[in-house]
């Protein structure tokens, strides 16, 4: 089979809106209370921390119901609760909130948005992922939290039609070229799950993660939902 590489240089940024700059969402895990997780009795530090698979400056999707992806280094024995929530940009309204089952082994998990929650074109949405490793706590403060943004872009003209005539392995780059980072990641992850022994897809996956700076996660397994 011919491997179709993911270009780390391909960037639709000149046609993308400027990501929101509030100074709040980071996409990186932070222990609350200003202390190290293990010092506060929370989640223990791991070699590879909890990670949101979002490329800096490309928090965009073409889908009204995107799927977000996270690397979880903990197992069901180490995490008491994981919660994901989606809010409007002003964080005045919660659109979706759900609990997530920790994986049996560390790996990359998918978090779909709720079927009756549809993102509107051009609007920004704030998401948050919190982890509690302790069953009992004195204060209602999560042990670890991540947050970030997602914005739905308008699909380019004839994009859906062009996609139909594009080989499955080439669609990842097509999504990237249109600005749909979340869609590219989801499409490639689904292909990998369906063809786990395909070395070319593994290479594409590694290239995609490396393009976002996650060289350390390329060998982490995809956990089936």
Domain harbouring 146, CATH code: 2.60.40.10
Residue 15 is predicted with a pLDDT of: 57
Question: What is the extent of the structural domain holding 95?
Answer: 23-217
Task: Report the number of distinct structural domains present in the chain.
Answer: 1
Question: Is 223 inside any structural domain?
Answer: no
Residue 199 is predicted with a pLDDT of: 92
Query: Which helix (H) or strand (E) segment is 69 a member of?
Result: strand 67-72
Please list the alpha-helical segments (H only) found in the chain. Answer: 159-164, 171-177, 181-194, 199-211
Question: Is 16 inside any structural domain?
Answer: no
Question: Is 213 inside any structural domain?
Answer: yes
Question: Is 18 inside any structural domain?
Answer: no
Dmax of the chain from CA atoms? 57
CB 54 within 8 A of CB 66: no
Between CA 88 and CA 79 the distance in angstroms is: 28
pTM for the model = 0.83
Question: Is 54 inside any structural domain?
Answer: yes
Between CA 95 and CA 119 the distance in angstroms is: 10
Question: Is 168 inside any structural domain?
Answer: yes
Residue 11 is predicted with a pLDDT of: 44
Question: Is 51 inside any structural domain?
Answer: yes
**49 — alpha (psi -120 to 50), left (phi > 0) or beta?**
beta
Q: What is the pLDDT along the chain (225 residues), one digit of tens a residue?
A: 334 455 544 444 445 555 555 444 445 554 443 323 333 447 888 888 999 998 888 899 999 999 999 999 999 989 888 999 999 999 999 999 999 988 899 999 999 887 778 999 999 999 999 998 877 665 578 888 899 999 999 998 889 889 989 999 899 999 999 999 999 999 999 999 998 889 999 999 999 999 999 999 999 999 875
């Amino acid at each position: 089979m011919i491997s179709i590489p993911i270009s780390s240089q391909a960037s639709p940024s000149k046609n993308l809106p400027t990501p929101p700059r509030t100074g709040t969402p980071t996409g990186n895990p932070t222990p609350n209370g200003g202390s190290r997780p293990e010092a506060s009795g929370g989640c223990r530090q791991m070699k590879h921390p909890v990670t949101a698979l979002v490329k800096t400056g490309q928090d965009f999707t073409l889908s009204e119901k995107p799927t977000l992806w996270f690397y979880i280094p903990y197992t069901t024995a180490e995490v008491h609760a994981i919660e994901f929530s989606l809010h409007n940009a002003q964080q005045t309204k919660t659109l979706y909130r759900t609990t997530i089952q920790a994986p049996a082994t560390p790996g990359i998990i998918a978090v779909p948005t709720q079927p009756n929650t549809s993102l509107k074109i051009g609007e920004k949405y704030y998401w948050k992922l919190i982890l509690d490793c302790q069953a009992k706590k004195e204060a209602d403060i999560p042990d670890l939290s991540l947050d970030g943004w997602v914005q739905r872009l308008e699909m380019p003209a004839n994009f859906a039609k062009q996609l139909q005539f594009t080989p499955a392995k080439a669609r990842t780059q097509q999504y990237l070229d249109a600005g749909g980072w979340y869609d590219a990641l989801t499409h490639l992850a689904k292909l990998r799950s369906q063809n786990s022994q395909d070395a070319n897809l593994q290479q594409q996956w590694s290239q995609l993660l490396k393009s976002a700076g996650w060289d350390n996660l390329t060998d982490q397994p995809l956990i089936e939902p």
